Structure 1
Amino acid sequence: MSMRVATFGQTSTVLQNAMKTQARLAEKQIQESTGLISTDYGGLGSSAGAVASLEVSAARTEASISTAEQALSRIEMIYDALGSMSDLMTDLRAQLSAASVNTDDTLQATAEAMLEELTSLLNTQYEGRYLFAGGETETKPVDLSGLTTTGLTTEDTNYYQGDDYVQSVRLSSDRSLDYGITADNTAFETAIRTLSYLASATDLTSEDLAAASELLVDAQDQILALQSVAGIKASTLETYISDQEDYLATVTDLATTLASVDIAVVAVEAANYKTQLEASYSALGTMTSLSVLDYLR
């Protein structure tokens, strides 16, 4: 290589500037490919704290939405089960209206079948959880194996295997929504007592049929009330989820805005840095080719 004459300082300066330009170009190329100011918080400067806070808020909101959606699915299952129970009451009331004291066998068979169906509905499971068991979600809440009904007026919840815990969902640090219904609720106890009596009693009188009909009306009214409340709570959760999704979208957009670059602007900047870098390399090439003879000519 030819001997450099008085170019060392200039060469060093140009080389340093070229290295800085190359670093800026690399940064712009990464920004252009990712669309982000930086791939880590350190490169976000004064926006780092705000972006981190927004991302934490977004994560919490996503978790809250997931929890609410899970509770909503359970409420919808409860709502449907209650609707089926009400239909049972309607069917049996119709048969009672048409029954007479001479149709005991047919009525007993019907009541027994409906009692089994009611038990099945109260033992409804969703995602491995019994919905009407309170906190004992792994235990069937209704077991009629030991139930003996000798009259229409004596309440008996010994069939219930759950506890008195009411399921709820926490929506925020200071807000929760109760939605659980236990199988020992008066509505269900009345229905079970009436069906059990009709399924096992003999020599039913007209007074028995009238009393059973009244109890079924009472049970159905209470079941419909429970269903109405479940519907209101489902609507409350749907509104909450919608509001949270709107908030999540806003927070996510804001975080993205703070962390993102304008691709068009970055592309222009990258092109400028590339041009500067090429000029620097050209200048370096010229400087490193100079020799003493170039200055003596």
Structure 2
Amino acid sequence: MVSRVATYTNHTLLSDLAIRNAAKVTDLQNQASSGYKSRDYAGIADSAQRLLNLEGEYTRTEQYLRNTTQAKLRLQSMESAVDSMMTIATEMKSLLIQASSAQQADDVNIKDEAKQALQQIANLLNTNLDGRYLFAGGRSEEPAVDLDKIGAPDNYMSDMDVALTGATTLASLGVTTGQLQIVSTDVNGNSVTTNVNYNAATDDIDDILDAINSVTTNGAIASLRGFGGNGNPLLNIENVGNGSITITETGAGDFLTQLGMEKIPNPRPDADYYDGDQQILEVRIDEQYNVSYGILADNPAFQKLVQGLGIAAGTEDQDAMTVALGFINDAINDLPNVQGQIGLDISNVERFETRHQDFKVFAAQAISDIETVDVPLTLAELSQYETALQASFIAISRASDLSLANYLR
């Protein structure tokens, strides 16, 4: 077709209309086939900044959700471990009460039961999830509890019915002059022998304490304290490294006999079994909010449970059993507080988890509204523009046939 001055305007108008329709048809065909409004941000320039903001928020929310999921799994594992400890403590309480009964004592092998329970507690405190020991604080790559130190260390204790002070003289106790030989292990596990000479005519309990505690390479330490923190002050001679200790008389003296020194597991408050640190874990669960969570294996409730089981695992002395029962009772009273703290941490994490899940749904829908098209609606619109494009081609074809000769015809 050759454009003339008379037809130039109409030709240009029809051509522009056809080109615009063709471009729109191509754009709609791309949208219908891909489901997206545009293959680049230029095609949605009016919404590009909002889309970028939403995508950034969506990515951060996904990370927060990963953090909350991880923290919740750890807390739930810890909660399950503490629940099991409560069950073990309750069962051991019943066995100790049963063992204290004259009619049932022979039916309960309390030492073996306590040893098994102690091993179970150690395993629970060494709960591992994805390579992390959950009760070890920041040192989560190593077990929280040293199994060799979980039991109460060796300890010699004087008669529970005799109250002692530092000024109590050996003569008043009926002790004759002699020598103690203490064979124990130091903090490095090396065997150490300490000889302690005593003179019944001049020495008192403070002299015995000084003689034992002043030895620099000693494997033992002496102190005055009540059994389990209660009752009469008693003389305790114990191992310093959670190892073994044996005390014998090598002279003519009768110190051990007169003081009624008996080998009983150490009842002192002790967390030497703990190999972790004091760092409480934190997790970022929102833009400006971190949650501190977790319980350490040296928590007082765990200490009391370990102490009680350690005593029960090492002696059948009825007085010692009473103290062991007291520790386990204290642990049973304290463990619900530990459970409550873990439950509160879980609730706190879940609250943010729910908030992030709701935002993720909203953001995903908003991003979809910006990026994607309604394919059936787009196909209907495409059909309309294809019809318009076809009409444009027909109009251009008919316009090309217009001439003066045809007009006069």
TM bracket, shorter-chain basis: 0.7 to 0.9
Q: Per-residue deviation at 1:293?
A: 9.0
Q: Per-residue deviation at 1:80?
A: 0.4
Indicate the residue corresponding to 2:237 in structure 1: none
Shift in CA distance, 149/192, structure 1 to aligned 2, threshold 3 Å: farther
Q: Contact 1:170–1:177 (CA<8 Å) still a contact in 2?
A: yes
Q: Contact 1:86–1:223 (CA<8 Å) still a contact in 2?
A: yes
After superposition, what is the alpha-carbon deviation per residue over 1:116-144, rounded to whole angstroms, capped at 9, x for unaligned?
A: 11111111111221111111111011113
Indicate which of 252, 258, 261 corresponds to 2:364.
252
Residue 138 in structure 1 maps to residue 141 in structure 2 = yes
Q: Contact 2:308–2:326 (CA<8 Å) still a contact in 1?
A: no
After superposition, what is the alpha-carbon deviation per residue over 1:142-180, rounded to whole angstroms, capped at 9, x for unaligned?
A: 113245253453122222111111112212233222221
Q: Per-residue deviation at 1:219?
A: 1.4
The 2-side partners of 1:58 and 1:73 are apart by: 23
SS at match of 1:168: strand
User: What are structure 2's unaligned runs of at least 5 residues?
Assistant: 156-264
Q: Structure 1 residues 33-42 or 287-296, which shifts more? A: 287-296
SS at match of 1:176: strand
Indicate the residue corresponding to 1:173 in structure 2: 287
Q: Percent identity?
A: 29
Q: How does 1:82-93 map to 2 (within 5 A)?
A: 82-93=82-93
Q: How does 1:5-154 map to 2 (within 5 A)?
A: 6=4, 9=8, 14-100=14-100, 103=106, 106-146=109-149, 148-150=153-155, 151-154=265-268
Q: Contact 1:31–1:266 (CA<8 Å) still a contact in 2?
A: yes
Q: Contact 1:156–1:189 (CA<8 Å) still a contact in 2?
A: yes
After superposition, what is the alpha-carbon deviation per residue over 1:191-216, rounded to whole angstroms, capped at 9, x for unaligned?
A: 12221222123xx3322111111100
Q: Contact 2:285–2:349 (CA<8 Å) still a contact in 1?
A: no
**Greater share of residues in helix:** 1
Shift in CA distance, 255/124, structure 1 to aligned 2, threshold 3 Å: same
The 1-side partners of 2:332 and 2:138 are apart by: 25
Residue 156 in structure 1 maps to residue 270 in structure 2 = yes
Amino acid corresponding to residue 220 of structure 1 in structure 2: I
Indicate which of 386, 391, 394 corresponds to 1:274.
386
Amino acid corresponding to residue 280 of structure 2 in structure 1: V
The 2-side partners of 1:5 and 1:60 are apart by: 60
**Greater share of residues in strand:** 2
User: What are structure 1's unaligned runs of at least 5 residues?
Assistant: none
Q: Structure 1 residues 260-269 or 82-91, which shifts more? A: 260-269
Alignment: residue pair count: 293
Question: Quick check: which has more Rg, 1 or 2?
Answer: 2
* Structure of greater relative contact order (alpha carbons < 8 Å, 6+ residues apart): 1
Shift in CA distance, 190/104, structure 1 to aligned 2, threshold 3 Å: farther
Indicate the residue corresponding to 2:312 in structure 1: 198
The 2-side partners of 1:32 and 1:117 are apart by: 63
The 2-side partners of 1:152 and 1:87 are apart by: 24
Amino acid corresponding to residue 48 of structure 2 in structure 1: A
Amino acid corresponding to residue 164 of structure 1 in structure 2: Q
Give the structure-2-normalised TM-score. Answer: 0.64
The 1-side partners of 2:287 and 2:358 are apart by: 19
Indicate the residue corresponding to 1:238 in structure 2: 350
Give the structure-1-normalised TM-score. Answer: 0.86
Q: Per-residue deviation at 1:90?
A: 0.4
The 1-side partners of 2:3 and 2:323 are apart by: 119
SS at match of 1:134: coil
Q: Per-residue deviation at 1:251?
A: 2.5
Shift in CA distance, 139/5, structure 1 to aligned 2, threshold 3 Å: closer
The 1-side partners of 2:82 and 2:122 are apart by: 12
Q: Per-residue deviation at 1:34?
A: 4.1
SS at match of 1:145: helix
- Aligned CA RMSD, in angstroms, stands at 2.9
Q: How does 1:220-231 map to 2 (within 5 A)?
A: 220-231=332-343
Indicate which of 315, 319, 323 corresponds to 1:211.
323
Q: Per-residue deviation at 1:86?
A: 0.6
The 2-side partners of 1:111 and 1:289 are apart by: 108
The 1-side partners of 2:287 and 2:88 are apart by: 40
The 2-side partners of 1:171 and 1:266 are apart by: 40
